[in-house]
Amino acid sequence: MTLEQTIQKASVLVESLPYIRTFFGKTFVIKYGGSAMPDQDVQRDIALDVILLRYVGVKPVLVHGGGPAITETMRAVGREPQFVNGRRVTDAETMRIVRMVMMGIINTDIVSTINRFGGKAVGLSGHDGNLIVARKRLERAPTGETVDLGFVGDVERIHPELVQELAENGYIPVVAPIGAGYQGESYNINADSVAGELAAALRADKLIILTDVEGILEEPGNPASLISALQVQRARRMMEEGSIAGGMVPKVEACIRALEAGVPRTHIIDGRVSHSLLLEIFTDRGIGTMVVS
Amino acid sequence: MTLEQTIQKASVLVESLPYIRTFFGKTFVIKYGGSAMPDQDVQRDIALDVILLRYVGVKPVLVHGGGPAITETMRAVGREPQFVNGRRVTDAETMRIVRMVMMGIINTDIVSTINRFGGKAVGLSGHDGNLIVARKRLERAPTGETVDLGFVGDVERIHPELVQELAENGYIPVVAPIGAGYQGESYNINADSVAGELAAALRADKLIILTDVEGILEEPGNPASLISALQVQRARRMMEEGSIAGGMVPKVEACIRALEAGVPRTHIIDGRVSHSLLLEIFTDRGIGTMVVS
Amino acid sequence: MTLEQTIQKASVLVESLPYIRTFFGKTFVIKYGGSAMPDQDVQRDIALDVILLRYVGVKPVLVHGGGPAITETMRAVGREPQFVNGRRVTDAETMRIVRMVMMGIINTDIVSTINRFGGKAVGLSGHDGNLIVARKRLERAPTGETVDLGFVGDVERIHPELVQELAENGYIPVVAPIGAGYQGESYNINADSVAGELAAALRADKLIILTDVEGILEEPGNPASLISALQVQRARRMMEEGSIAGGMVPKVEACIRALEAGVPRTHIIDGRVSHSLLLEIFTDRGIGTMVVS
Amino acid sequence: MTLEQTIQKASVLVESLPYIRTFFGKTFVIKYGGSAMPDQDVQRDIALDVILLRYVGVKPVLVHGGGPAITETMRAVGREPQFVNGRRVTDAETMRIVRMVMMGIINTDIVSTINRFGGKAVGLSGHDGNLIVARKRLERAPTGETVDLGFVGDVERIHPELVQELAENGYIPVVAPIGAGYQGESYNINADSVAGELAAALRADKLIILTDVEGILEEPGNPASLISALQVQRARRMMEEGSIAGGMVPKVEACIRALEAGVPRTHIIDGRVSHSLLLEIFTDRGIGTMVVS
Amino acid sequence: MTLEQTIQKASVLVESLPYIRTFFGKTFVIKYGGSAMPDQDVQRDIALDVILLRYVGVKPVLVHGGGPAITETMRAVGREPQFVNGRRVTDAETMRIVRMVMMGIINTDIVSTINRFGGKAVGLSGHDGNLIVARKRLERAPTGETVDLGFVGDVERIHPELVQELAENGYIPVVAPIGAGYQGESYNINADSVAGELAAALRADKLIILTDVEGILEEPGNPASLISALQVQRARRMMEEGSIAGGMVPKVEACIRALEAGVPRTHIIDGRVSHSLLLEIFTDRGIGTMVVS
Amino acid sequence: MTLEQTIQKASVLVESLPYIRTFFGKTFVIKYGGSAMPDQDVQRDIALDVILLRYVGVKPVLVHGGGPAITETMRAVGREPQFVNGRRVTDAETMRIVRMVMMGIINTDIVSTINRFGGKAVGLSGHDGNLIVARKRLERAPTGETVDLGFVGDVERIHPELVQELAENGYIPVVAPIGAGYQGESYNINADSVAGELAAALRADKLIILTDVEGILEEPGNPASLISALQVQRARRMMEEGSIAGGMVPKVEACIRALEAGVPRTHIIDGRVSHSLLLEIFTDRGIGTMVVS
């Protein structure tokens, strides 16, 4: 590398300074995973981004999903997954698989990747320190009847102390979206919802949801129609009209939940772009959609 | 209940006072599990005992095993476990199962049980906060050759800070015996060894290993020949002679490791007895074998 | 003791867990003494109970009385005690005797007993750290005239910092009911009143007054007519009607004072029952009368 | 007062600055009482001096005696005091009187005086927080036989934590020379010894013993022969020769004990001189005798 | 010195006790300088007074002016100072001189004097830790036009953290009246205004402005007409009428500003009197004028 | 900027991670100034670099020189600077100018620049908090005689507490090379020496001296002969031989002083290169000369 190029590099560091200053000491809740996670390189890139955030003074809290890996493991033991309204029907045996894949594979992999590159991650489920108290979710099927989805839950309450203490002491909490019921039973919760509720309970300064599309599009399928800033009111209308649909709905709802609790900024960004987290945080180039109140 | 009986009960509390005083603020590492764990009632009793310890000022740290449950899950997916010198041959796929069962089922169950009865448990593997750094174990088969057991590891180093901080803040750490290799890979480690090393690194005041026999017996099979206090020297001789053998060997070695690091008292006790932990700690009635230096 | 009996004992410990959990870190003001104190065994039992409370995380603060011992000492030096409305007429010389007996004998005995059994008690009068500021009490005799009782005082103000700091650091404060006047003179104050005011100033979680009767009785002399829970309104009516009278009046008034200041639970219990404190706190068996708002 | 005089006063404050600077944050153990105490004005002056010390950053710890007042009270109840080698023969009843007078009268009076003038004093006996652990003193009579003096004790051990915590929090500890035996019994200890041991245990920066003579004199009865600085070696010789005798012996021994434990300066000064404490500390004018190693 | 005189001295210390008690832990902002400063002896006396305040628990914060020394240096380099409404016209080169004299000479001299006599002073300008944010002052000339005075500023905002942290850690902050503009440029601010604003921002307990006259006089030139206590309302009227005029106006305005922000007492006193600070603080003799709300 | 370029930028941040991790929480002493300072752009670049260091967890401490600016100001008032062995002859009037330029201009300019770009700098001289205690330097002229250079000093002692406290609280200390003599007088000290002594006293992790040449050259004038790593032994030889000479001598001596006190790494680098600080710290590209023990 020439001296010129090296100096170029130093300038980049300096350009990031105003952003570092702004976010020093702030808490960011970052959701990633589900479809956004398979690629090992992406996983490493996100780990690096998160560690960097930690070192420049941000307190990142990760929430991950797990859909595809769970489906895969269920099929490997001969069980065909079923979904109602995008929620996985979760009987006792499925819940066992969810727990095993979530905690034993996905969570541990993320923790291990972060630590390998120099961070200090700690994996948590909603059981740890009673972090996520859950109640059974009552799902209304398209037909209008209430459907029993088994161990599918909603967040009843967050006890954020454990996450706060760990973040305060330099650790990076990595949270699996499993809630604890009052009898000690486990519930499968949508990871976007967990991220939204956690951001709200922590009074985070940013909620960032990494996904595998460009963001929210005006015209489905046309990346050029990306909406950079989406107001809550319009977001609600688009969900009613169905122009925001499917897996994007809980993401938008998580943003709205966080905004209502006072989180100042929420983002849905494209996790497939290399270092998209840093781009979002350290440059003026908006990538993806910012949901604003 | 008559007033007489109620008063009787109060006296029991008062009799425990000298023990409470002695152990106030002390750290106990408690290993349980493997065969000692299946029964739900025992699990609940141990949870209650551990919570009580926490409330009377002791800082308990749990380490659990997982043998039988792993074997069961392996068989469920059609894999027959193999053992060399009592160590499970652990190829990559087996390691996946170990992680899933350990973290997703056993660890979460213990955490959930403790929290349900009012404790604040946090589940950890060796990856969390880089708690247990492991190296590949070189096993010498009875034939004299070195055998590759795959992802079977030994403790290379303990970073006890995370466990200390959690215990200091009122949490009960529950540790799964999985170590983190330098490349971030996972290792399956004997749970007794982890307990011994953790007790040593924490400079614990007691190491208590719950098992499913009466303790160490002079004559195998004769409970009346229970050795109440076993000196390290004699323990070593008994291991050489084979009168301590099988699964008892790593337990005794864990005690010796802890004693050498300055842990003042180590115990191998009968986890099948109801509230055996409290009996050991709060009464003069020795149950099981105390290994002493 | 058989193993069965030992296990029985461990169960008692476990049964106390929910109570321990509830009261962890809470402050209890406990008044005992006066007639409830003579017996050495009772004194030792109460000391043990208080130490146990301390070890399971409760912060006990003791207030003691001193009536009979003072009377005895006065008579020994040839002075006949006089009472108006149950208050001891306290001239300068009597006040000297009150101080000597209260601080030199009773308070020091309690401190010594607690320390001997392993607690860390510190004796205090209202002078220490200006704990109890007192003003002269204006007593209206039954005849309607105001009577000068000499150095009999009422609590003007509590400075609870010293008690809080000691309790926070693991000490058990033992408070004699002597108040400090603005000129540094001492006042003899009713110990029940001091306990009530101290509970109020400390925002204690319980005020427990040990006495030498069963509690408050519906029909005087009939223990079977014990009132388990007495509402403030009814208590006031009973005092007006005279069915609560004599030494029980300041006890009930202390409870009311504490309740009004936000102390959630106040109790008048039978100190003659062995370990009555533990029975009240660690079992569901109500002993004595709970005064509730 | 003229402006000139007022300015004169301000200069005095300024002249004290170098001393204030030197002693900031230091601990002084000050013994006073016994014969040096009767006068109310002297008591007030000493209280003022001690409060001033506290405000300019010194941590004063007081130890008081009680001889004359105890003798007086004993006689009032018809008991004639007996002494062996200057130690009061202390049977059980005498010990009761010692405790009553020491804690109920003298200690409380000092605490009350200090608080009235704006300090925050806390009275302590050796029982409080187990401050002074005592053992029975074996006294050898001039005849050579060992005499049983009853509850006369020597300091076995000091637990200085309570005094340190109180002093650290701005309180002025006032210590009565009563020790706690292993069975909880009380012992009457020489106050000078307590002061010396306390200074040693606290690693104080000064031990100052106020007495009612000018200091140590070369020729008994000739104030002009005052020894300003007395070396330990010479002090020992003078005690052997008997030129230091009587009540001065335990004072000198207390100084020697403190010096040996590393207390840098020890003084025996004339408590009858108004504000003698301030004179000693804030001026270059040596009053009394400094014992040096 | 005779013993009598020495005792006299000790009494002075004792008489200061009530004042010391009142002001313990309080923050005083003290403005001195400008004409009040030239004399080296006065400078030393003020340093001693300030150190003494620090040692008896007061947290003094100094603000100094610099007028005459700046004028002198300007003339030395051949520039004739110009004033409008008493404010120095400050072009870029003059500002350089102001900074050099203020920071390099006056501030450093004060710091050095305090440290030499045993204090721990730290010199600050408004740039340090962004202590004083300034905006350009718009001055209206007597003719009615707005005049450009160059780098003359008003306090826009105080960031008191740095001063608080230093004072909390035992340092004596010494502040030069230079403000920092938003582009990093320096502004020359009236030192009395800085003192008033700093007292307000620190919620000081006293603002004391040392000057070179007796205080505020009823009849100009007649010291006997000194106003001891001046109410804000009357002060405002006197400024309107012109009976308070010239350099006294910003002093009175600083007092009013501080009073409005809740500073309880503000004083304008005669700095020429030896130890005037101590006289004001430690005696009842009011010297100068107290401005009260 | 294209997305490609933006991603490129993010990668640079990520590449800096290992360096950030290594230097987190470490203290760097950075000397710059003298000839390396005139250019405003360079000054801004260095300010930005230093702020960035602070935000990524490094504790930078700056030391500046001031030669050319002082010479310029001296000439402006008609004084011709004189040098002996490269040391400025400093009579009282020259010392006044040194103080004025150092504190009033250079130090304040650096502080102001750092704060304007978002850091929190605090300017200090050796007088502040008694940071640098100096003694008069005895200079031996080439002729062998001792020459009186006036107020030229050497570091006698560093009191690093003030710098440590400020750095700990997030401030960036900026130190002018002026020492405080025992009479409070000021001394002009070589800035490189101050940097070396400060690095030693702070037990810094790096000493970086910015200069206006490439580093230490094998052949004077030939940049290609730059020595990347210079051992102390060789450095000493080169100074004796004169191949290291002039202003480079105190720089090398400062490095040696720091190395001897345990500072692990010392660097002399080219301050004219843009962002040379970041290049040195955040890349593997060595710029300039590292002096190693």
Per-residue three-class SS string for chain D: CCHHHHHHHHHHHHHCHHHHHHHCCCEEEEEECHHHCCCHHHHHHHHHHHHHHHHCCCEEEEEECCHHHHHHHHHHCCCCCCEECCEECECHHHHHHHHHHHHHHHHHHHHHHHHHCCCCEEEECCCHHHCEEEEECCEECCCCCEECCECEEEEEEECCHHHHHHHHCCCEEEECCEEECCCCCEEECCHHHHHHHHHHHCCCCEEEEEECCCCCECCCCCHHHECCEEEHHHHHHHHHHCCCCCCHHHHHHHHHHHHHCCCCEEEEEECCCCCHHHHHHHCCCCCCEEEEC
Q: What does the pLDDT read at residue D87? A: 83
Helix (H) or strand (E) holding E87: strand E87-88
Of B199-203, F1-5, F141-145, which gets the smallest average pLDDT?
F1-5
H-only helix segments in chain C: 3-15, 17-23, 40-55, 67-76, 92-99, 108-116, 161-168, 191-202, 232-241, 248-260, 276-282
Of D96, D120, D162, the CB nearest to C122: D162
Q: CA nearest F159 in E: which residue?
A: E120
pLDDT tier, E34 (very low <50, low <70, confident <90, very high otherwise): low
- The answer to whether F120 contacts E130, with C-beta atoms less than 8 Å apart, is yes
Helix (H) or strand (E) holding E73: helix E67-76
- The answer to whether D10 contacts E118, with C-beta atoms less than 8 Å apart, is no
Q: Is the pLDDT of residue F10 over 80?
A: no
Q: CA nearest F75 in E: which residue?
A: E77
Of A9, A21, A51, the CB nearest to F118: A21
How many angstroms separate the CA of residue B71 from the nearest CA in chain A? 15
Per-chain mean pLDDT for chain D: 89
CA angle B49, B55, B61 (to 5 degrees): 60
Find the chain D residues whose C-beta atoms sit closer than 8 A to any C-beta of C: 76-77, 96, 99-105, 107-108, 111-113, 115-116, 120-125, 127-130, 162, 165, 169, 171, 178, 180, 183-186
Contacts of F147 (CB under 8 A, 6+ apart): F84, F139, F140, F141
Do D and E touch, counting CB pairs below 8 Å (3 needed)?
A: yes
Instruction: Label residue C68 exposed, middle or buried (CB < 10 Å: 0-12, 13-18, 19+).
Output: middle
Through-space distance between the first and last CA atoms of chain A, rounded to whole angstroms: 46
Mean pLDDT of all residues in C173-178:
97
**Binding residue ranges of A for substrate:** 66-67, 88, 188
CA angle C241, C242, C248 (to 5 degrees): 135
Phi then psi dihedrals of residue F154, to 5 deg: -115, 155
Q: What does the pLDDT read at residue D29? A: 98
pLDDT tier, D143 (very low <50, low <70, confident <90, very high otherwise): confident
E127 or E15, higher pLDDT: E127
Mean pLDDT of all residues in B84-105:
90
Instruction: Label residue E75 exposed, middle or buried (CB < 10 Å: 0-12, 13-18, 19+).
Output: exposed
pLDDT tier, B36 (very low <50, low <70, confident <90, very high otherwise): very low
H-only helix segments in A77-107: 92-99
D278 or D232, higher pLDDT: D232
How many angstroms separate the CA of residue E103 from the nearest CA in chain D? 28
Of A99, A108, A186, the CB nearest to B186: A108
8 Å CB contact between D226 and D185? no
Cα-atom radius of gyration of chain E, to the nearest Å? 19
pLDDT tier, B2 (very low <50, low <70, confident <90, very high otherwise): low
Domains of chain B with CATH codes: 23-292 (3.40.1160.10)
Q: What does the pLDDT read at residue D35? A: 55
Phi then psi dihedrals of residue B43, to 5 deg: -60, -45
Find the chain F residues whose C-beta atoms sit closer than 8 A to any C-beta of E: 76-77, 96, 99-105, 107-108, 111-113, 115-116, 120-125, 127-130, 162, 165, 169, 171, 178, 180, 183-186
Residue C275 backbone zone (phi > 0: left; psi -120 to 50: alpha; other: beta): left
- The answer to whether B122 contacts A100, with C-beta atoms less than 8 Å apart, is no
8 Å CB contact between D171 and D115? no
Sheet containing E229-231: give its strands across.
E121-124, E172-175, E59-64, E27-32, E206-211, E265-270, E289-292, E229-231
Q: What does the pLDDT read at residue B1? A: 55
Q: Pick the closest to residue E253 from E226, E291, E206 (CA basis).
A: E291
Q: Pick the closest to residue D170 from E14, C103, E24 (CA basis).
A: E24
d(CA D292, CA A42): 75
Q: Is the pLDDT of residue F281 over 50?
A: yes
pLDDT tier, D21 (very low <50, low <70, confident <90, very high otherwise): confident
Of A37-41, A86-90, D50-54, which gets the smallest average pLDDT?
A37-41
Of A86-90, B156-160, C142-146, D54-58, which gets the smallest average pLDDT?
C142-146
8 Å CB contact between F14 and A279? no
Q: Secondary structure of chain E: what % helix, strand, coil (to 5)?
A: 45, 25, 30
pLDDT tier, E16 (very low <50, low <70, confident <90, very high otherwise): confident
d(CA A131, CA A179): 8
CA angle F42, F126, F59 (to 5 degrees): 55
Of C215-224, D165-174, D194-203, which gets the smallest average pLDDT?
C215-224
The predicted-structure confidence for C148-165, as pLDDT tens digits, reads as follows 888 999 999 999 999 999
Q: What does the pLDDT read at residue D36? A: 46
Beta strand F87-88 pairing with F83-84: antiparallel
Chain E positions in Cβ-Cβ contact with residue D45 (cut-off 8 Å): 14
Mean pLDDT of all residues in B135-141:
84
**Binding residue ranges of D for substrate:** 66-67, 88, 188
A124, two tokens: 């948590």
Q: Measure Cα distances from C64 to C36, C109, C210, C249, C279 in Å.
A: 10, 11, 10, 17, 20
Per-chain mean pLDDT for chain A: 89
Phi then psi dihedrals of residue E121, to 5 deg: -90, 150
Chain F positions in Cβ-Cβ contact with residue A21 (cut-off 8 Å): 51, 55, 118
The predicted-structure confidence for E47-73, as pLDDT tens digits, reads as follows 999 999 998 899 999 999 987 888 888
d(CA B285, CA C2): 10
Chain E positions in Cβ-Cβ contact with residue F165 (cut-off 8 Å): 165, 169
The predicted-structure confidence for C51-83, as pLDDT tens digits, reads as follows 999 988 899 999 999 878 888 888 888 888 888
- The answer to whether E186 contacts F108, with C-beta atoms less than 8 Å apart, is yes
CA dihedral E146, E150, E154, E157 (to 10 degrees): 130
B144, two tokens: 């004299």
Mean pLDDT of all residues in D158-185:
96
Mean pLDDT of all residues in C249-275:
93
Q: What does the pLDDT read at residue C36? A: 46
d(CA D94, CA C146): 40
pLDDT tier, E6 (very low <50, low <70, confident <90, very high otherwise): low
- The answer to whether E17 contacts D52, with C-beta atoms less than 8 Å apart, is yes
Q: Is the pLDDT of residue E1 over 60?
A: no
d(CA E252, CA F206): 51
8 Å CB contact between A229 and A215? no
Q: What does the pLDDT read at residue C159? A: 97
Mean pLDDT of all residues in B18-45:
81
Q: Pick the closest to residue D124 from D194, D220, D41, D54 (CA basis).
A: D194
H-only helix segments in B16-119: 17-23, 40-55, 67-76, 92-99, 108-116
Got the DSSP string for chain F? --HHHHHHHHHHHHHTHHHHHHHTT-EEEEEE-GGG---HHHHHHHHHHHHHHHHTT-EEEEEE--HHHHHHHHHHTT----EETTEEPB-HHHHHHHHIIIIIIIIHHHHHHHHHTT--EEEE-TTGGG-EEEEE--EEPTTSSEE--BSBEEEEEE-THHHHHHHHTT-EEEE-SEEE-TTS-EEE--HHHHHHHHHHHTT-SEEEEEESSSS-BSSTT-GGGB-SEEEHHHHHHHHHHTSS-TTHHHHHHHHHHHHHTT--EEEEEETTSTTHHHHHHHSS---SEEEE-
E8, two tokens: 């006299």
Q: Is the pLDDT of residue C139 over 90?
A: no
Chain D positions in Cβ-Cβ contact with residue E12 (cut-off 8 Å): 9, 12-13
Q: Pick the closest to residue C189 from C268, C107, C126 (CA basis).
A: C126
Q: Is the pLDDT of residue E136 over 80?
A: yes
The answer to whether the complex's ipTM is over 0.90 is yes
